Structure formats: structure tokens, C-alpha cells
């Protein structure tokens, strides 16, 4: 049961503008960002369930985004909602609870707050073990926005909130894999595999070594759709030469366990 831990979907009428509003240098979208487009790519790639990640760039968008992702949740889509540090802890939690959202995506590059912001830590404290979190980590913007997330910050969060179900995108450090491997490999953090434009741009032997060092039971597959092709990213994972058990853990078992989803691949 393949589960994609990292896909972005918007309402049809704003998918196009949303994809062009925050361009990442050097990346061109492979999909259209719509629910229908995601469904087509899931069918083509064999993905059984996609985690659909919502992001509120501004505080005023939080409740609307959470309402949208809650409506996305079906047997083959799992909606991840949003929070923002410009709202109080109480208002953020009220929005998540109102819409039944049990997982959140953080994106410092677009939301313009750091992973070390005390206001965010107050929200994470309120999450306890009830709300799962997946977050962008690493580069993707200018120097200032890149500084808002780092492997060191992830390590600090994991230490401060040991009960938090935390997943760090891009192996814990997009474009700064050396730092991520040094600070996070073997740590009690779940790492996610997406590396736009493709995981294939990394040396397979390095990815295999990192997964084996960290433990496949703490690695989740993510495509970062629509910026990549899920089918190509799955093929890259399958070509790493991992054991069958480890491959199944990465491609779905680990995230199923983290999110409490029934799966024959969970361990």
C-alpha cells in the first residue's frame, strides 16, 4: 500500500495561481495542483493514498484552508491542515478541532516564520501527540527565508517535544543534505524523501546509505506533487537496492504507523 506523504492540492479555481504565486527557482510543476490531476497521477503511479498538505501563508487563511483539506479527506486522501503563529494557540487549535484535522503542514519559506519561533513552539506544545506535523526543512528561497528552517531546528524541536509525531521533509534539509545527515541521521525524527525536481538527482548509494543509517522504519516516501512525478519518485525508491521489507516501510508502512492508518506494510 503506497502512501505519498507529500502532495499539494488546491481548489480548482486557484490551483494555477497558487502554483505560480511562490515560485521556487529552477523548479517547474509536473502536475496541475487540482484534485482531479492528483487522482490521475495516483492512478498512474499506484499510490493508494496521498497526504494532501494545506498551507496558510497568512493567518486569515487558516480556517478556510482547514475547511478545504477536511473536505478532501477520503479513503485515498488524508488532509493535512495548517496553523499560523499570528493566531493564538487557542484559535489555531479551535480551527483544527472544528474541522477534525489531525495533522498539520508547516512551510517556513511561505509562511514567513522560523521553526525556532517561540510562538510556534507554544502551538507544538499544545499538539502533544494528538496532531502529527510535517514540515519543510532547508533551502528554496532567498538567504533570509532559507534561514527560517534548518536541520538544527528540527533536532531542537525533537528534543523539546519528544511526544510530537514529527516528519521532516527533504531528508531534513533540502539542498543542505550534508548538514541534515550530520544532525539528524539516527535521531528520533521521521525523514521524508522528496527532493524536487527528482530524487534521482541524488546519488542512489548516498540515499541508500542514509536510509539504512537512519532506519527505514523512520523514513517516509513523499513526492512533493505537483512539482515531481510520483511514478518516477517511486521508481527511484524501488531502485535503491533496499530489502523488500525496508522498501515497503519507506513507500507506505512508516507513514501509516505515524498517522494511525491500517496497512499491511506498517511495522
Whether residue 61 has pLDDT greater than 70 = yes
How far is Cα 71 from Cα 79, in angstroms, rounded to an integer? 8
pLDDT in the model for residue 224:
97
pLDDT in the model for residue 23:
65
Q: State the pLDDT confidence band at 266, using cuts at 50, 70 and 90.
A: confident
Domains and CATH numbers, the chain: 2-259 (3.20.20.140)
Question: CB count, 10 Å around CB of 218?
Answer: 21
Going by C-beta distance under 8 Å and a sequence separation of 6 or more, which residues neighbour residue 45?
2, 229, 230, 231, 234
Mean pLDDT to the nearest integer, 21-35? 83
Of the candidate ranges 11-15, 83-87, 232-236, 254-258, the one whose mean pLDDT is the lowest: 11-15
How far is Cα 205 from Cα 222, in angstroms, rounded to an integer? 19
Amino acid at each position: 500500500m503506497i502512501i505519498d506523504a507529500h502532495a499539494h492540492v488546491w481548489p480548482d479555481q486557484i490551483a494555477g495561481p497558487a502554483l505560480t504565486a511562490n515560485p521556487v527557482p529552477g523548479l517547474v510543476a509536473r502536475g496541475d495542483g487540482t484534485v482531479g490531476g492528483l487522482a490521475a497521477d495516483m492512478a498512474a503511479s499506484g499510490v493508494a493514498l496521498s497526504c494532501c498538505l494545506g498551507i496558510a501563508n497568512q493567518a486569515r487563511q487558516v480556517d478556510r484552508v482547514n475547511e478545504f483539506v477536511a473536505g478532501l479527506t477520503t479513503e485515498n486522501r488524508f488532509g493535512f491542515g495548517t496553523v499560523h503563529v499570528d493566531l493564538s494557540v487557542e484559535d489555531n487549535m479551535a480551527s483544527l478541532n472544528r474541522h477534525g484535522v489531525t495533522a498539520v503542514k508547516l512551510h517556513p519559506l511561505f509562511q514567513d516564520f522560523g521553526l525556532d519561533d517561540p510562538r510556534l513552539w507554544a502551538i507544538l506544545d499544545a499538539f502533544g501527540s494528538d496532531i502529527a506535523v510535517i514540515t519543510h526543512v532547508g533551502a528554496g528561497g532567498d538567504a533570509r527565508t532559507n534561514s527560517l528552517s534548518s536541520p538544527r531546528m528540527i533536532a531542537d524541536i525533537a528534543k523539546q517535544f519528544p511526544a510530537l509525531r514529527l516528519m521532516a521533509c527533504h531528508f531534513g534539509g533540502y539542498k543542505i543534505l550534508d548538514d541534515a545527515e550530520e544532525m539528524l541521521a539516527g535521531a528520533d525524527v521521521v525523514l521524508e524523501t522528496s527532493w524536487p525536481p527528482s530524487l534521482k538527482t541524488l546519488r542512489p548509494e548516498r540515499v541508500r546509505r542514509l536510509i539504512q543509517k537512519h532506519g527505514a522504519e523512520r523514513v517516509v516516501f513523499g513526492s512533493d506533487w505537483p512539482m515531481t512525478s510520483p511514478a518516477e519518485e517511486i521508481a527511484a525508491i524501488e531502485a535503491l537496492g533496499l530489502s523488500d521489507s525496508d522498501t515497503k516501510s519507506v513507500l507506505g508502512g512508516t507513514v501509516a504507523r505515524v498517522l494511525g492508518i491500517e496497512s499491511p506494510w506498517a511495522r
